[in-house]
Amino acid sequence: MEKRRLGRTDIFVSKICLGTMTFGEQNTEEEGHQQLDFAIDRGVNFIDTAELYPIPPKPETQGRTERYIGNWMKARGNRDKIVLATKVVGRTANEWFRGGRPSKLVRADILDSIDKSLQRLQTDHVDLYQIHFPDRLVPWGSNPSRVAEWPAKRAEDETPIAETLAVFDEIVKAGKIRHLGLSNESSWGVMKFIAEAEKGVGPRPVSLQNAYNFVNRTLEVNLAEVCDREEVGLLAYSPLAQGYLTGKYDDGALPAGSRKQLFDRLQRYETPRAAEAIKAYNQLARQFGMEPALFANAFVTNQPFVTSNIIGATSMNHLELALSSADVKWTEEMQAAIDAEHQLRGNPCP
C-alpha cells in the first residue's frame, strides 16, 4: 500500500489508517486482533486510537481499546513496524479520565493521560500524540458551516495554547511521544499552535485529524490550504459518515446491531436535509457500479490533500471493503459527479 509522508517528519504512513474505536464495545478483543492482523497484512502500518475509546465513551470501558492494541503488539512483537497514534481528551466535564474530576489541557492532566496510555499500550513511546478536541469552547469538530453564536463564549479558565504546547515539549523531550497532532481543530487553532511553536514554545504540529466525507467537506475551504502550505498532514476520519454512507440507513432503515440501533448517537448525520443528500450519494455510488461504502472511502482516500483515510469496521467484510478503496482508480468523471452533487447539497452535516 502507498505510504505518504506525515507532515514534515521522516515518518511515512499508509494512505489508509486503521481506526479502532469499536474495539471493546462493538468488537471483542479477539475480533480487534483479527482486524489488526488483516490490515497489517494488507499493507497498513498506521493505527489510530485514543484514551477516550471505545465509543460510546463510558467510565467502565474507557481505555479498553488501548489495552487491546497493547496486548496485540506484545503478542506479535511488532511495535517497531507500527506508526502508533493515540489522543488525549480536551476540555471535558466527564470525570472518569482523571479519577473523579473534569479534565483540561493542563500539565497534570496531559502527563496523567500519556502515562496511562503508554501503560495500556505496553510501549515506551507513541509516534503521534493528538489533542482529541480543543480546550476552547468551540462546536464539535471546530469547523462548522455557520457560526450559531458570535462572539463565541469563552471559558473563564481557558487554557492558553502556549501552556498546552509547553507540556507537549516536555513529553517529547522525555521520549514519551515523537510528534504532536491536532484533531477536531479549526484553521485558527492550527495556525495558533504553529505560531507558538515557531516562537520556540513547543513542538510544531505535524498532523490534523478532522471529519471529512461527502456530506461534510468543510475542511476543503480553509483547513486544506493551511495543511498544504504549512506541511501538516491531513488525516480524515468518518469517511462513511458514521455508517450513513453505506446505504444501510437509507429510507429510515434501522438494521439490528448497527451503531444507530445500539446507541442512537449519530445526530451529527441526522440534520435537516441530510437524509436526502446521503441517499443521493449512495445512489450515485451504485451508478458507478460500486457499493456505497467503497465509493465513499475511495473518495476520501484519493483526495490529493488527504495524507491518510482513517477507516473503521465492525466486521471483516466491512474491513476488507474499506481497505479495497486503496485500489480504486478514482476518475475525473467520479470527481465531477460528486462535485456536482455537492454543489446542490452543500455540507448538511458539519
SS (H, E, C) 54-121: CCCCCCCCCCHHHHHHHHHHHHHCCHHHCEEEEEECCCECCCCCCCCCCECCCHHHHHHHHHHHHHHH
| DSSP code at position 27 | B
Run of H or E residues at 147: none
Measured between alpha carbons, how far is 52 from 104 in angstroms, rounded to an integer?
14
Burial degree of 43 (CB within 10 A; 0-12, 13-18, 19+): middle
- Do 128 and 181 form a contact (C-beta atoms < 8 A)? yes
Measured between alpha carbons, how far is 136 from 134 in angstroms, rounded to an integer?
5
Strand partners, 83: 46
HSE on the CB side for 85, CA within 13 Å?
29
Max distance between CA atoms of the chain, in angstroms, equals: 54
| Helices then strands, each counted (H, E), the chain | 11, 10
Could you confirm whether 53 is annotated as catalytic? yes
Q: Angle CA(51)–CA(135)–CA(272) in degrees, nearest 5? A: 85
Measured between alpha carbons, how far is 192 from 160 in angstroms, rounded to an integer?
10
Q: Which of 228, 232, 226 is nearest to 181 (CA)?
A: 232
HSE on the CB side for 308, CA within 13 Å?
34
Inter-CA distances, 90 with 15, 16, 52, 138, 255, Å: 27, 25, 10, 11, 33
Per the residue annotation, which of 53, 129, 237, 269 is the catalytic one? 53
> Which residues does the annotation mark as catalytic?
53
